Amino acid sequence: MLAARTSIDTNPASQLDVAADLVALLSDTATEPRANPQLEALTLAVAADLPVLLWGEPGIGKTAALTQLAASLNLPLTTVIASVHEPSDFAGLPIVGDDPALHGVPMAPPDWAVRLVRAGRGLLFLDELSTAPPAVQAALLRLVLERRIGSLRLPAEVRIVAAANPRSSAADGWELSPPLANRFVHLQWTHDHEVVVRGLSGTWPRAALPRLDPQRLPEAVTFARRAVCGLLSARPALVHRLPNHEAGRGGPWPSPRSWEMTLRLIAFATAADTSREVLSMLVRGTVGDGSGLELLASLDRMDLPDPEVLLADPAAAVLPERGDLRQTVLDGVVEAVRQRPDRHRWDAAWALLVRALETGAPDLVVVPASALARLRQEDWDVPASIERLAGAVSLSRRADQTATRIAAAAGSGR
């Protein structure tokens, strides 16, 4: 054993080489396809060429995710710590030439911007954004929106992603200014313990750009425009709504600029057939939770079948699986009959209710069946199909009455 120990080279330089080899082995990790909604949301926003801001506690893996994203997309990564720079580092440094009166004073860009232009492509990572003072945030406005630094314009193939810690956990943190916050897609970055454990064992999720279907591009644009314009036509107050409190102004909120970003994200998500969870993260991260949830609800209604199409051929009707959407469709059918009362349309509506009873929860037909029954005119015969609904309606009413009695008894016993 002593001989074996003495055979190990104790030269400090060689020991550093061995240590470097060990570090290299620890850094040698692989990636695998794995469902990761927040990573999918990030890559879709990057594909849509929109600036993204990742919010998360320190050490959560924001920087590691950006490093892996740049490597998987084969983009050179340029990291700029916003909080340690001066405003002139983003606005450009004035350089006096031979004849300022004739040529003016050009604003020289920093070296990292020059490197990005020479490369022609890259991923610009603005880290620690919430610790940048207001003067630096103001200087970043033109960089984030117009991709300009001094007199230099970044190439179209450069994508911008930023990261920030919440003010409560940031070192000398500041709230983001409303103009700067409104230029980003805000994504909340959290950790998944299964992903962390799998990654520490040597395999991390793979960041890949969404696969856009070329055949769906025109359809995706039409759908996105109809979705956003339809909501804003019905809810004009949502076009611009600056939050009243400072913290809200430093996050996502609706404005014409952020609605334009939302429209682009919906088009990309539609062309890529993105999951509803990912789309929800992106929409709420652009116009805020309130406006985003209203838009998502309107997207659901856009996909609902036309009541007139259902009434024209009840036997071939395909009703939504989700209970709330099915209820909306059935209510729309009854309203369509109310608007144009006709014996054949009334019979077709009953046939649709029977179909809904056979393929879904019985309680969903109670309200529309009661409303449809009140539309009957004296010379209209009661259809035979109504007998199939009578049991479900009666059972539902008895259940409601029983629940009311139980609640009343419980209240009186207090």
pLDDT in tens, 299-310: 888 778 888 889
pLDDT for the residue 403? 45
- 52, 162, 414 from 286: Cα distances, Å: 10, 15, 48
pLDDT for the residue 402? 42
pLDDT tens for each residue of 333-344? 999 999 999 889
Confidence of residue 318 (pLDDT cuts 50, 70, 90): confident
pLDDT tens for each residue of 92-134? 777 766 666 666 667 778 888 889 999 999 999 999 888 888 8
- 121, 132, 189 from 89: Cα distances, Å: 20, 13, 28
**pLDDT higher than threshold 70 for residue 170:** no
Q: What is the mean pLDDT of residues 217-230?
A: 94
In this prediction the pTM is: 0.76
Helix (H) or strand (E) holding 5: helix 2-6
pLDDT for the residue 243? 92
Nearest to 259 by CA among 32, 20, 50, 29: 50
pLDDT for the residue 73? 86
Mean pLDDT of the chain: 84
Residues 123, 77 contacting (CB under 8 angstroms): yes
Its sign, for the CA torsion 128, 132, 137, 139, is negative
**pLDDT higher than threshold 80 for residue 2:** no
Report the C-alpha gap between 248 and 271 in whole angstroms: 31
Confidence of residue 139 (pLDDT cuts 50, 70, 90): confident
**pLDDT higher than threshold 60 for residue 396:** no
Of 195 and 179, more confident: 179
Q: Residue 147 corresponds to which tokens in the numbers above? A: 């991709």
Concatenating the DSSP letter of every residue in 175-242 gives PPPHHHHTTSEEEE----HHHHHHHHTTEEEPP------GGGHHHHHHHHHHHHHHHHHH-GGGSS--
Residue type, 183: R
Helix (H) or strand (E) holding 166: none
pLDDT for the residue 87? 85
Q: Residue 80 corresponds to which tokens in the numbers above? A: 């700029």
**pLDDT higher than threshold 80 for residue 167:** no
**pLDDT higher than threshold 80 for residue 348:** yes
Q: Is 410 helix (H, G, I), strand (E, B) or coil?
A: helix
Residue type, 370: S
Q: Worst-scoring range by mean pLDDT, 47-51, 128-132, 139-143, 204-208? A: 204-208
pLDDT for the residue 406? 47
Q: What is the mean pLDDT of residues 16-39?
A: 87
Confidence of residue 76 (pLDDT cuts 50, 70, 90): very high
**pLDDT higher than threshold 70 for residue 4:** no
Report the C-alpha gap between 203 and 180 in whole angstroms: 36
Q: Residue 367 corresponds to which tokens in the numbers above? A: 């309200």
Where does 239-322 have alpha helices with state H? 246-249, 256-271, 276-287, 289-302, 307-312
Q: What is the mean pLDDT of residues 51-75?
A: 87
pLDDT for the residue 395? 44
**pLDDT higher than threshold 80 for residue 35:** yes
